[in-house]
Amino acid sequence: MYQQHFKLAEPPFSLTPDTQFFINQQSHRDALNTMLVALQHCEGFIKVVGEVGTGKTLLCRILLSRLRNHFVTAYIPNPYLNPEELKAFVAQEIGADYSPDMQAHVLMSSIYRKLMQLAHHGKQVVLVVDEAQAMPRETIESLRLLTNLETEKRKLLQVVMFGQPELDTLLSRPDLRQLKQRIIFSEYLKSFSEQGVADYVRHRIDSAGGSKDLFTRRALWLISKGSGGIPRLINILAHKALISSYGKGLKRVGVAQVAAAIFDTSETRFPGKLLAWQYRLPVIGGA
């Protein structure tokens, strides 16, 4: 829509996680480094928690892209699996012998043999679970039992869990205390600072082939206030502000266009809504 007008090679603020647009903000960088170091040392469970829209899925994809060479990875984007489905998924992902009519103990033996074979060839198996707070309790327990598979020196299966804060609530249940005790490292993704928001927007514009000065300083400041530093909200506000500027034939995005975007987006933070109110602008249309 506005790509040609602003001389962009591609949309810079798509809501689809794209590793090209990853920016190493402090908490995200810390979480990524923690995961990489922990996995190199064969630690058991790793947990990464963040509010909705803080970039967990993107960070998950960055992690998977970094785990090469001696790593074998299995990614679960949808945690709504029962225990049998989980074990079948793991078996298929690591290349273990599997058939739908396998008895539970036979399937576990097949998974164990394959894990041992991979370990013998110097391969580490990592299971990455996205939206882990939605995984049924029985499946989480089955996941814990899978991590019981080990040699005399190390675990055969490592697990990284990404989830919303509800994951911490789930793991605080008394019947899941054994799994909670196995979580060696935990990281919490924080929202971006005001400077972090400005760096994030400029990075995405630059990565899409545009000018880093496309948004004025005041526009970036108001995006920070309206989004609360949440990456998904930053993307929404920046995208709508670009639409507004394009519709008016402007070459840059100003504070007035961001104010209109804030009014047009119900999820925006209250301080940003209050600050944008002074402009009293009509909505863009289509939240």
Domain ranges of the chain: 26-189, 193-279
Q: Which one-letter DSSP state was computed for residue 134?
A: G
> Where is 29: in which H helix or E strand?
helix 26-40
Which pLDDT value is given to residue 276?
64
Taking the chain (287 residues) in runs of 10, the rounded mean pLDDT of each run is: 87 80 77 90 85 90 88 91 93 92 91 93 93 93 85 82 94 89 90 92 91 93 92 94 92 92 79 60 43
Which pLDDT value is given to residue 236?
94
Which pLDDT value is given to residue 68?
81
> Following DSSP, what letter does each residue of 86-127 receive, concatenated?
HHHHHHHHHT----TT--HHHHHHHHHHHHHHHHHTT-EEEE
Which pLDDT value is given to residue 48?
95
* Model confidence, pTM: 0.84
Inter-residue contact 267 to 240 (CB < 8 Å)? no
Angle formed at CA 157 by CA 152 and CA 158, multiple of 5 degrees? 110
Longest dimension (CA), the chain: 68
Which pLDDT value is given to residue 268?
76
State the angle between helix axes of 56-66 and 26-40 in degrees (0 to 180), rounded to the nearest 10: 40
Which pLDDT value is given to residue 283?
45
> Where is 158: in which H helix or E strand?
strand 157-163
Residue-wise burial string across 219-258, b where 16 or more C-beta atoms lie within 10 A, e elsewhere: bbbbbbbbbbbbbbbbbbbbbbbbbbbbeeeeeebbbbbb
Inter-residue contact 126 to 72 (CB < 8 Å)? yes
Which pLDDT value is given to residue 126?
94
Strand partners, 126: 73, 158
95-138 residue pLDDT tens: 999 998 899 889 999 999 999 999 999 899 999 999 999 999 99
Q: Cα 6 vs. chain centroid, distance in angstroms?
A: 29
Which pLDDT value is given to residue 282?
47
Q: What is the second-level CATH architecture of the domain 26-189?
A: 3-Layer(aba) Sandwich (3.40)
CATH class of 193-279: mainly alpha
